[in-house]
Each structure stands twice: as C-alpha cells, then as structure tokens.
A and B are shown apart, each in its own frame.
Chain A
Amino acid sequence: MDMLKKVPVKEQDAKERATNFKEVCLGYGEEEAVLEASRCLKCKNPRCQTGCPVSIDIPAFVKEVERRDFKEAYKVISKYSALPAVCGRVCPQETQCEAKCIRGIKGDPVSIGKLERFVADWAMEHGIHPEPPKYKNGKRVAIIGSGPSGLTCAGDLARDGFDVTIFEALHEPGGVLVYGIPEFRLPKERVVHHEIENVKALGVKIETNVVVGKSVTVDELLTEEGFDAVFIGSGAGLPKFMGIPGENANGVFSANEYLTRSNLMKAFDDSYDTPMIAGKNVAVVGGGNVAMDAARTALRLGANVHIVYRRSEKELPARAEEVHHAKEEGIVFDLLTNPVQIVTDEDGWVKGLECVRMELGEPDASGRRRPTVILGSNFTIEADTVIMALGTSPNPLIASTTEGLEVNSHGCIIAKEADGATTKKGVYAGGDAVTGAATVILAMGAGKAAARGIKEYLGETHI
C-alpha cells in the first residue's frame, strides 16, 4: 500500500443517500482499521494527543488496533472519553489531532477519527461496556443538561465514585446529539442511545422533563436537594434571526426548529404525531455545520436546496467533509450572497428570498475578508421555505434564576477554562453555555475540566 495515503473509508453512494436518513459514512472494517493503524509512526513525542481537547492517548489506542486487541483499544479511549462513537463521527479531527499528525506533513495524516469510531463501534457490537466504579464516595453532583459536556462531566465523576444525577429539560437525553445533529451523521438509536446507556452503566441517573431555572433552581439543588456541587452544561439553545422583513412569515424556520422537528420529534416518520413543513424549494441561510445539517435534512425530505452564504467558499465555517458531502448530494451553494428580505404572498407564506450579491473587501476583526454589498445586484431565489442557520446563543434561564452566577455581555456564563469554576461557589459550567455555540468535542473537553474542578472542590483529588 501507499503509506502516504490513508485507507479510504466506504461511504453510501451520494445519489442513494440523498433519499434516505441512513448514515453517510460506513466506517472501517477490521482489516482496514488494522492497515490504517499501521501507518502510525509511533512518535516519541506524540503531537496528536496535544491536539485532542480531551487528551486521548491516541498512539496507545492506535497501537492496540494495530495489534488487533480492539477491546484494549476501547479501554484506552474509555479512560478519556465517555462518547467515543460520537466523537469518531462528529469531531473536526482535521483541525485537531489529525492536523498535528506527523504523517500529515508529507501525505495524509492517520485517520484517527475513523479509527476511534471503529473501536467504539466494535465495542458496541461486542457488548463491551465501560466498567462501573468499585466504590462510591457519597458525594452528590447535579449536572444540568445531558448534551456532550454534561454527559462527559457525569461520566468522569461517576467513574470516580460520585453519585451523579443529570437533569434534562427535554423528554429525551442527549441534548444537541439528539435534537440537532441528524441521523445520517449520527445514528440516534444505535450510537447516541447506546453511549448514554454506557454513561448510565457507570451509575449516572438521568431525570428528564426538568427545566432547571423553572422546575427547580440551582440554589434549590444545592440547599434543598442536597447536592454538593452543580455543573451547568445547558448549551446554547436560543436561535438567532436576521431581523429582515418577512422573517415571521409562514415557512420561515430556525434551523433548531427544523432539525428538532425532524431529529427529536421524528416528524419525517408518518407514525409520529409532530407535523413538519419540509418544503419543496428550500433556502438555508448560513454556512456552518448546522446549515449543512438543515440543508441535507431538507434534501432527504425531498426538497431542492440552496445554501445562501454571504462570504466565499473558503470562509465557510462548516467542516470541509460536510460541505463536500452536501455538494455531492446536489445542494446548490449561493456564495457571496446575502438575504435582504423574505418575499411573501398575501396569506403570509414564503414565496421567495430576495438577496444581494456580495464581494470580499479587507479582512475584518475575525481575520476573514469582510463581505460588502454590490449595489443594485438584488435578485430573488424561488423558495417556499427559508431556514435560518445563523448560530445560537445561551439560554438566559439558568443564569437569571441563580443568585451570584455571572454572565458576560453575550449572555455566556463566566467560567474558568482550567476547571470550569463559575463566580458562584460549588457551581461549575462548560460547553456552549460558556463559549457560545461551538463543537461537541470542545464541550466535552470543558465537561472534563469541570469534572476535575469539582473533584478538587469536593476534596476527592486523590483518586
């Protein structure tokens, strides 16, 4: 084999997958995984590990894969991550571990993400679960939100003997993993549900339908319900809108609404009661991963889909792999295009999306070239459905009901990066609630840091 090239991974054919919700990437088989693992150079000073937000001992698990001891490989990963099957699928490895891989200097880096996924899936298929703690320390921790940061923090604490309860506002645990990321990228039953069961196997309890800040406050958890510490991982759930005319028209949705109806409420399945307007001609505004998810969902529901983004392809914030997949599936990219208004009919339904063409000027504060309007370039994209995927911000509910918990001007909870400590004693936070909308793995990293902070706070650092 050509050691400079990674072992290619099988994918569902673009034409076929555009009409179903089955997973796009099919993952490595045993032989492929072993072969790919053999490309690892076993660096003395492994840089890949420094690129991982949860510091997985990558060379160690890759070595076990090469030795065909997949069970041991799973054990290595499990020490660091509660959600390997999720991370192997949705982490932006190309900017993290794989970006640091020495193999990548000349040729392709080792496919660390695909190997992680292989190990997690192998363990799943062989009924291997993480081992529950041998003893309990009697300290109780409440985790708010069952998304990536909450599950990670809960898993780490439970593994060290803490008595952990997760409070989830929705009816199903998983946070963005269940309401946001679609089935074709992250299978719900097979992967997400399974990983949550693994966290529960460590002794973590999950109480759904509890909206912290409404059903119970953080202060009540600490005083009345006897928790010794609280971790807030409530995410960034509030959708943004552009503020352009016509945005409240029928047929305009936030990406959150569109994806929640499809992913969490399973509106695409007729046997579920939640209705959904999937659209025939759909315009998705935005260029991030959420925009790609919404666009590819609409496509699978039978729509012609345009992605409207105000900068050029180079600036698209979505993962390259997602953009590539979206294009393969037939999604049209209207780049350097910005909406100015939503055109409606007399009954208040969407008829089109009026846009202007943009050009790139000088770099702005973000270092990206600032898009400016080309005057008089207005044109209308035919659309019956417009999906706004412009990012999200944290829900103010918890901060506004917790005495002494401070937020910054963006509404993000102020927490120390090293240990997740907030301005309130015994209360820790991490993930999108602190950073604003970011990635699954960064949230997991923050959940891990907070677990360390909580252990230290509760005097359990010796373990």
Chain B
Amino acid sequence: MYRITKKERLADNIYLMDVMAKRVAKSCYPGQFVIVRIDEKGERIPLTICDYNREEGRVTIAFQTVGASTKMMAEYKEGDSFLDFAGPLGRPSELIAMSEEELKRKKILFVAGGVGTAPVYPQIKWLKERGIETDCIIGARSSNLIILEEKMRKVAANVYITTDDGSKGFKGNVNDKIKDLIDREHKTYDLVVAIGPLVMMKFVTILTKAYGIKTIVSMNPIMVDGTGMCGACRLSVGGTIKFACVDGPEFDGHLVDFDQAMKRQQMYKTAEGRAKIRTIEGPDHKGCCGSDNG
C-alpha cells in the first residue's frame, strides 16, 4: 500500500498528492511517470511525476479529474493509501543526460498547459539546481486553471502567465505568447519543451517548426501496463511506431503525428469515442466505457 501524505487542490479539477513510494522516489528522474491503481477493481492510471524527495521516499503526482477513475482518485484523502504505485516508468527527460556545460549553452523555453504544468515543474527545478536559468509560459483557459505558479516562480527565471480569456496575465494562447517573446521581446531560444493537451502541443510544434526551434513534447496516451507490453500507447514518430511508455513519454515534437494521436485518444477517453463503441457493439456492449484511462 502507498500512503498519501498530502493532498492539495490546485484548481477546480486538478489535484496534487504526495505519496510514499520508496523505490520510485529513490530512482526517478524528471520526465518519467508512474502507474497508480486505486483499488482491487481500479484501472492502471499513468501519471507524470511532478516532484520527488529521495530521502523521505516521497513522490508528488498531479492529476485532473476527467473520468470515473480520476474522480474516484480525487476522493482519496491524506492518510488513505493507493493499492499500487509502480515506477518510475518511461525514459527521463533528455535534458537529464546532457552535460552541465551543454545545458548552460542552451536557452530553454518551457511551455506548460493546464495539468501539463505539473510535469514541467521538476524539469525546471532540476535545471535550477544546476544553475541553469529557464523561461516558462504557463497557459490555461482562465485564471482559475493556472496551477503551480508560486512554485514555478521560485525555480524559473521568468514565468509568463497566459489565459485565453485574459483573466490573468497575457491575453491569448501560449502560441501568442511565444510569438510575443520572440518577435516583440527579441528573445532567442534553441530548445522548447512543451507539455500540455495534445492540441496545444500540436500547435506549439507547428509554430516552433516555423521558427526552426527544436521542440520536445511529452505524450500521455492510453496505456495499460506501462512497461511496453500492450502497445496501446503506440504512436507514429517520424513514420515509425513508438511506444510512449518505453520509448517516451518525451519525443521530438516535430516528428510526432499529432492528428493520429488525437484520434487514438478518442478511443476510450471522450464521449464521442464511447458513443462510437456503442454503435459498433450495440446495447449489449460488455466493456465498461463509463471510465477512461487518465
């Protein structure tokens, strides 16, 4: 059992939890994820690691309630325990493997969207601990969905808030802000790390391709085991099949087939996908489509 030592509501439907998981805390790096199973009948839910404390054996996760399973997860309180907590899974961010000299030469812009801000945080923190300054855009539809701003301000050199409705910070989407930084403020970047909804990552990569800036994205597709066994998380990267769980979750954003990834995400995640399953299988459909994978 893996005990929850802290629970915090970051926004309307976004929660942060500290979970005691010694082995994961000891061996994880920014960019990796865990698989959580709430109870005996639960799904295996993949969640990116948001922070960790090796000495205390603690791992921080953040999640958005989008389906039955994550809603159930949000019901858990401090002191409760999850049945399973496996990881770390996936490969660490490629920044981790770079030398400090190499990193110091790089000007890195992080683009965080919604709950995707959570996995961006440990990367910026890791870089800060090595004396590397970075910029970070945090974008959301509205101010009440902006998360982790205070924590981020402690580790990033510059934090730019953008909201679609202008309720906080810059009015516009993250792409508008990227353009603003590069075109108006004449900032230069040689690496962008974008983590957020698929549609955000897709449009960021289109823009950065035009600017000629290498862009890393983090994919969080449907998966079951998270160890390379099921292939549910496969995606096309540069025309070849990759498994997000073992080859990723981070990939070169300019090579990812986002349109296909978005279609695949429909499979269980959205109302449209579930409706489609019903038309295929009829009313006696035996799968339980009331839930989703994350």
A: residues with CB less than 8 A from B are 169-171, 179, 208-211, 214-216, 237-239, 241, 243, 247-248, 250-251, 253-254, 256-257, 260-261, 265-268, 270-280, 301-302, 347-349, 384-385, 395, 397
- Check if B227 sits within 8 Å of A277, measured CB to CB: no
When the two chains form the complex, which single residue of A265, A280, A347 contacts B276, counting CB atoms closer than 8 Å? A347
Q: Report 24 cross-chain contacts, Cβ distance below 8 Å, ordered by A residue.
A: A169-B227, A170-B227, A208-B86, A210-B23, A211-B88, A214-B88, A215-B88, A237-B228, A238-B229, A248-B260, A251-B280, A254-B230, A257-B230, A272-B288, A274-B44, A275-B289, A275-B293, A277-B277, A279-B281, A302-B281, A348-B263, A395-B227, A395-B229, A397-B227
Given contacts A237-B229, A260-B225, contact A278 B286 (CB under 8 A): yes
- Check if A302 sits within 8 Å of B83, measured CB to CB: no
In the docked arrangement, what's the CA distance between A419 and B290, Å? 50
- Check if A239 sits within 8 Å of B230, measured CB to CB: yes
In the docked arrangement, what's the CA distance between A397 and B27, Å? 15
Q: Which of B9-17, B206-214, B264-272 contacts A (4 or more CB under 8 A)?
A: B264-272
- Check if B263 sits within 8 Å of A275, measured CB to CB: no
Given contacts A273-B69, A274-B288, contact A171 B246 (CB under 8 A): no
- Check if A274 sits within 8 Å of B227, measured CB to CB: no
In the complex, chain A residues whose CB is within 8 Å of the CB of B235: 248
How far in angstroms is the closest Cβ of chain A from B254? 19
**B181 proximal to A (CB < 8 A):** no
Beyond A216-B23, A250-B263, A277-B268: 15 further Cβ-contacts under 8 Å? A170-B86, A209-B85, A210-B23, A211-B87, A215-B24, A239-B231, A251-B267, A254-B230, A260-B230, A265-B224, A271-B41, A273-B68, A274-B224, A302-B281, A347-B266
How far in angstroms is the closest Cβ of chain A from B81? 13
In the complex, chain A residues whose CB is within 8 Å of the CB of B84: 171, 208-209
In the complex, chain B residues whose CB is within 8 Å of the CB of A243: 241
When the two chains form the complex, which single residue of B68, B229, B236 contacts A239, counting CB atoms closer than 8 Å? B229
- Check if B83 sits within 8 Å of A171, measured CB to CB: yes
The chain B residue sitting closest to A388, CB to CB, is: B231
- Check if B267 sits within 8 Å of A256, measured CB to CB: no
In the docked arrangement, what's the CA distance between A301 and B282, Å? 12
How far in angstroms is the closest Cβ of chain B from A213? 9
Interface residues of B, count at CB 8 A = 55
In the docked arrangement, what's the CA distance between A349 and B275, Å? 13
In the complex, chain A residues whose CB is within 8 Å of the CB of B32: 214
Given contacts A215-B24, A397-B227, contact A277 B287 (CB under 8 A): yes
Q: Which of B153-200 contact A (CB under 8 A)?
A: none
In the complex, chain A residues whose CB is within 8 Å of the CB of B228: 237-238, 395, 397
How far in angstroms is the closest Cβ of chain A from B233? 10
In the docked arrangement, what's the CA distance between A349 and B263, Å? 9
The chain B residue sitting closest to A271, CB to CB, is: B41
**B142 proximal to A (CB < 8 A):** no
- Check if A260 sits within 8 Å of B23, measured CB to CB: no
What 0/1 readout, one digit per residue, does chain B (238-277) give for beta carbons within 8 Å of chain A?
0001000010000000000000100110111000010011
**B284 proximal to A (CB < 8 A):** yes
In the complex, chain A residues whose CB is within 8 Å of the CB of B293: 275
**B42 proximal to A (CB < 8 A):** yes
**B89 proximal to A (CB < 8 A):** yes
In the docked arrangement, what's the CA distance between A280 and B284, Å? 10
In the complex, chain B residues whose CB is within 8 Å of the CB of A384: 280
In the complex, chain A residues whose CB is within 8 Å of the CB of B83: 171
- Check if B288 sits within 8 Å of A248, measured CB to CB: no
- Check if A274 sits within 8 Å of B263, measured CB to CB: no
- Check if A277 sits within 8 Å of B224, measured CB to CB: no
The chain B residue sitting closest to A303, CB to CB, is: B281
Which residue, of A215, A260, A271, A385, has the highest number of chain B Cβ atoms within 10 A?
Answer: A215
In the complex, chain B residues whose CB is within 8 Å of the CB of A277: 267-268, 277, 280-281, 287
5 closest Cβ contacts across the A-B interface?
A348-B263, A257-B230, A276-B287, A209-B86, A254-B231
